[in-house]
């Protein structure tokens, strides 16, 4: 046997590892291109998601350097995409996706810089003279909300919002009026606790720089001579024609204004999964446009000349489009209404051209329009729930198996009705599943029985309530609407009875503590992957959804919650949640309960057996992580003698106060006072893990965030003097 020549030992093998990797990469790339070719009709649906990713990044990232880094990263990704083989779909996706994400970030950044109203720097008590921009009645709270432009007030924002009690409303109040009053103006409120509602961000884009409650006397310097807007007149007319709890629902269905709905009814609608009926969206716009088209077609068909010579569908579609646009403007042009109107216009255009326009491309086009003009809407629950619901519905309707099951056929009428009910139930279940992550993230609760409640509520609203209310308004022109209003009122009473009955069930909703952004993003991306693709690879999206669901189920509720002003503290005990100030209002109690994922009543901290409370201080012990944590909270604005307070501070693990604590107050682990809260906002503490969650990052430079003044920036090292709970004795 011949020996191998020595020179061949240094030659590369014919099947080297590098060659195998190259072959595998080329094969994988070819498989990816083959799959994208099959899904070519669906690729364009991801355009609004690319734009939305850039918008979301601007809201999540804290400051300008982070925003610039994101822009550079997305542009670099687009440039790297150019290195991929020319003409491939994957190359176009990478390049376009990077550019869209960069455009989204620049779009919202530019709008925030040019459009928003900076908040008032600090609370002030002052006398305001202002011109009324708008007036909105809120009968449920017995007040009106007035938007004002202050006159000759250089230290105030360009626009403020004040509440005026019904008993204090001056004569001549309306658009264009000039009024004077005393008020304590506050900056728009940020989220009180981690995961809470951030009104400050929304107010910035709405142009509201400060809020407050006007104090009597309220003087009218110049009365309004403007005619009240049609929406306001319609709202007042409906409240006058309908009595009882149904009046608020009737007004909301026609105008989109929910100010007359009592809190108990609004909560029942949310818990029962029927809250979507109160927001003017696809159901209402579709019903109106469909009714207009139906009436126009029937009226024109009465004329032989029109029926034979006119393009009836085109004329009816144009009439429906005008009705949809008018209804959108009448109801305040909220995001769900705009989305529904845009979608309806595209559908009508497709019908007029003889094409089927009800596709996911329609949804994507509507999302692009909304994001282009209102990019800030992306982070609100209204946009997310509206588009998630309609995307889930169309994705289900396009599925071959569901389409085959729901298709009409010649069968017994009982089977036909049963098939329709099952199809309706399936759509309700799919929508509930699609909305659940959004509801848990924003509201810390999600409906579980909404699909069953909607089986009755949607047909009742579509075929009884809305037609009868429209008929009543039409008959009111001749003063004959009373019978139609009576039918509307009875139907709405049944709807409220259904809502309260479902909401009372212990299975009506599921509650969770604050859901982290990462888990929320995983669930949303996974759901979008499942809904937007058509091939079997779509089910890979169940992986991120499963990880997100498992993460949500594994969340442990916080043991301590502190609001951003430090006045309200809630602690978790074996018997439930207890609150420091037992006279706290319903809003504060609801905020703390939702942030903790707790559905019971909040008890008083002073009544706990392990608590020792005086007028000024409250000390208690909380068992967690195998030890007893000592908590000390201030209860009043009175100064406590150092000889008494210093030993209590030294013995406590955590000290919480709504004022600045002196440097000699040195707790074992953490001192939460006004200095810390000015930088972080509200705080949630998990004692088992020692994890702190805050409302905002210390570096947060979004334009609606009020930066702490210099006198609250000191002593940072002391505030976090012992930030590791593992070092505690």
Going by the DSSP 8-state scheme, the letter that residue 86 receives in this structure is T
CA distance 689 to 436: 27
> Largest Cα–Cα distance in the chain?
115
* For helices 230-241 and 246-255, angle between their N-to-C axes, nearest 10 degrees: 150
| β-bridge mates for residue 183, sequence order | 126, 214
Among positive and negative, which fits the CA dihedral 259, 264, 267, 273?
A: negative
The pLDDT, as a whole number, for residue 712 is 47
Going by the DSSP 8-state scheme, the letter that residue 172 receives in this structure is T
The pLDDT, as a whole number, for residue 272 is 85
Angle subtended at Cα 463 by Cα 461 and Cα 468, rounded to the nearest 5 degrees: 85
Q: Bigger pLDDT: 529 or 463?
A: 529
Domain boundaries 124-228, corresponding CATH code: 2.40.50.140
Q: Bigger pLDDT: 508 or 607?
A: 607
Going by the DSSP 8-state scheme, the letter that residue 186 receives in this structure is B
The pLDDT, as a whole number, for residue 576 is 87
Stretch 123-141: mean pLDDT, rounded? 92
Residue 358 has pLDDT above 50, yes or no: yes
* CB proximity list for 532: less than 8 A, separation 6 or greater: 42, 45, 46, 360, 391, 395, 538
Q: Is 535 left (phi over 0), alpha (psi -120 to 50) or beta?
A: beta
CA distance 439 to 427: 18
Residue 691 has pLDDT above 90, yes or no: no
Strands 691-694 and 683-686: antiparallel
Residue 658's SS3 state is coil
Stretch 270-292: mean pLDDT, rounded? 73
Stretch 306-334: mean pLDDT, rounded? 76
Domain range list for the chain: 32-114, 124-228, 252-511, 560-727
The pLDDT, as a whole number, for residue 278 is 75
Tokens 């019971």: give the residue.
Answer: 600
C-alpha distances in angstroms, 338 versus 46, 437, 581? 20, 23, 43
Which residue in 329, 133, 323 sits closest to 231, CA to CA? Answer: 329
Determine contact, residues 280/274, Cβ cutoff 8 Å: no
Residue 729 has pLDDT above 60, yes or no: no
C-alpha distances in angstroms, 267 versus 50, 249, 261, 376, 620? 35, 13, 10, 26, 33
The token duo for 362 is: 């329609």
Residue 12 has pLDDT above 60, yes or no: no
| β-bridge mates for residue 182, sequence order | 127, 215
Q: Bigger pLDDT: 45 or 285?
A: 45
| Digit-coded pLDDT (tens) for 542-562 | 999 999 999 999 998 999 999
CA distance 505 to 452: 13
| Digit-coded pLDDT (tens) for 381-428 | 888 887 888 888 888 888 888 888 887 777 777 888 888 888 888 888
The token duo for 720 is: 């976090």
pLDDT band at 519 (very low <50, low <70, confident <90, very high): very high
Determine contact, residues 165/217, Cβ cutoff 8 Å: no
CA distance 172 to 167: 14
pLDDT band at 632 (very low <50, low <70, confident <90, very high): very high
C-alpha distances in angstroms, 112 versus 116, 155, 207, 704? 5, 21, 11, 9
- Tally Cβ neighbours within 10 Å of residue 129: 15
Residue 727 has pLDDT above 50, yes or no: no
The pLDDT, as a whole number, for residue 280 is 60
| Digit-coded pLDDT (tens) for 187-236 | 999 999 998 899 999 999 999 999 999 999 999 999 998 888 877 888 88
> Average model confidence (pLDDT) for the chain?
85
- Tally Cβ neighbours within 10 Å of residue 23: 11
Q: Please, what is the end-to-end C-alpha distance for the chain in angstroms?
A: 77
Going by the DSSP 8-state scheme, the letter that residue 585 receives in this structure is -
Residue 453 has pLDDT above 60, yes or no: yes
Lowest mean pLDDT among 158-162, 452-456, 538-542: 452-456
Residue 635 has pLDDT above 70, yes or no: yes
CA distance 189 to 85: 51
């Amino acid at each position: 046997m011949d020996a191998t020549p020595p020179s061949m030992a240094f030659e590369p093998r014919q099947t080297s590892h590098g060659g195998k990797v190259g072959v595998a990469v080329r094969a994988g790339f070819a498989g990816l291109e083959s799959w994208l070719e099959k899904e070519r009709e669906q690729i364009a649906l991801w355009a609004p998601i690319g734009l939305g990713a850039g918008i979301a990044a601007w809201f999540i990232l804290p400051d300008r350097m982070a925003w610039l880094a994101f822009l550079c990263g997305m542009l670099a990704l687009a440039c790297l995409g150019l290195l991929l083989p020319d003409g491939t779909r994957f190359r176009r996706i990478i390049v376009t996706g990077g550019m869209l994400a960069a455009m989204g970030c620049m779009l919202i950044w530019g709008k925030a810089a040019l459009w928003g109203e900076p908040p008032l720097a600090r609370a002030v008590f002052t006398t305001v003279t202002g011109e009324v921009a708008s007036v909105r009645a809120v009968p449920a709270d017995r007040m009106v909300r007035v938007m004002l432009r202050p006159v000759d007030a250089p230290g105030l924002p360009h626009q403020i919002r004040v509440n005026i009690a019904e008993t204090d409303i001056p004569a001549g109040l309306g658009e264009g009026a000039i009024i004077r009053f005393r008020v304590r103006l506050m900056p728009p409120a940020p989220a009180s606790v981690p995961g809470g509602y951030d009104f400050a961000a929304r107010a910035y884009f709405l142009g509201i720089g400060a809020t407050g409650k006007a104090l009597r006397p309220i003087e009218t310097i110049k009365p309004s001579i403007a005619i009240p807007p049609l929406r306001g007149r319609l709202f007042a007319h409906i409240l006058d024609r309908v009595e009882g709890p149904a009046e608020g629902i009737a007004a909301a269905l026609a105008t989109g204004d929910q100010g007359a709905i009592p809190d108990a009814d609004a909560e029942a609608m949310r818990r029962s999964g029927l809250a979507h009926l109160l927001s003017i969206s696809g159901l209402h716009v579709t019903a109106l446009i469909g009714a207009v088209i139906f009436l126009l077609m029937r009226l024109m068909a009465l004329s032989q000349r029109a029926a034979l010579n006119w393009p009836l569908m085109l004329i009816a579609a144009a009439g429906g489009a005008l009705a949809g646009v008018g209804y959108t403007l009448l109801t305040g042009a909220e995001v769900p209404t705009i989305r529904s109107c845009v979608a309806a216009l595209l559908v009508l255009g497709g019908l007029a051209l003889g094409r089927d326009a009800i596709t996911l491309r329609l949804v994507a086009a509507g999302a692009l329009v909304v994001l282009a003009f209102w990019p800030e809407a992306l982070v609100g629950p209204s946009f997310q729930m509206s588009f998630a619901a309609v995307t889930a519905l169309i994705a289900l309707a396009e599925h071959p198996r569901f389409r085959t099951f729901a298709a009409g056929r010649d069968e017994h009428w009982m089977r036909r009705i049963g098939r329709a009910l099952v199809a309706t139930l399936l759509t309700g279940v799919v929508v509930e599943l699609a909305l659940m992550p959004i509801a848990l993230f924003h509201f810390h609760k999600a409906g579980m029985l909404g699909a069953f409640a909607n089986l009755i509520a949607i047909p009742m609203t579509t075929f009884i309530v809305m037609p009868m209310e429209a008929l009543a308004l039409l008959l009111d022109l001749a003063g004959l609407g009373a019978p139609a209003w009576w039918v509307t009122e009875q139907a709405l009473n049944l709807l409220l009875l259904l809502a309260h009955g479902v909401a009372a069930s212990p299975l009506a909703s599921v509650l969770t503590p604050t859901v982290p952004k990462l888990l929320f993003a995983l669930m949303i991306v996974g759901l979008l992957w499942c809904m937007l693709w058509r091939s079997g690879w779509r089910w890979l999206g169940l992986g991120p959804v499963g990880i997100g669901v498992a993460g949500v189920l594994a969340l442990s509720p916080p043991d301590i919650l502190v609001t951003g002003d430090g006045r309200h503290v809630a602690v978790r005990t074996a018997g439930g949640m207890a609150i420091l100030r037992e006279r706290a209002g319903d809003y504060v109690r609801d905020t703390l309960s939702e942030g903790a994922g707790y559905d019971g009543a909040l008890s008083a901290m002073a009544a706990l057996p392990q608590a020792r409370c005086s007028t000024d201080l409250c000390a208690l012990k909380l068992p967690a992580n195998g030890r007893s944590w000592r908590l000390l909270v201030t209860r009043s604005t009175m100064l406590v003698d150092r000889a008494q307070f210093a030993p209590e501070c030294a013995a406590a693990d955590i000290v919480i106060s709504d004022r600045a604590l002196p440097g000699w107050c040195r707790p074992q682990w953490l001192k939460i006072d006004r200095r810390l809260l000015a930088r972080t906002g509200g705080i949630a503490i998990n004692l088992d893990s020692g994890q702190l969650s805050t409302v905002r990052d210390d570096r947060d430079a979004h334009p609606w965030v009020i930066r702490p003044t210099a006198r609250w920036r000191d002593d940072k090292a002391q505030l976090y003097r012992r930030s590791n709970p593992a070092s505690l004795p």
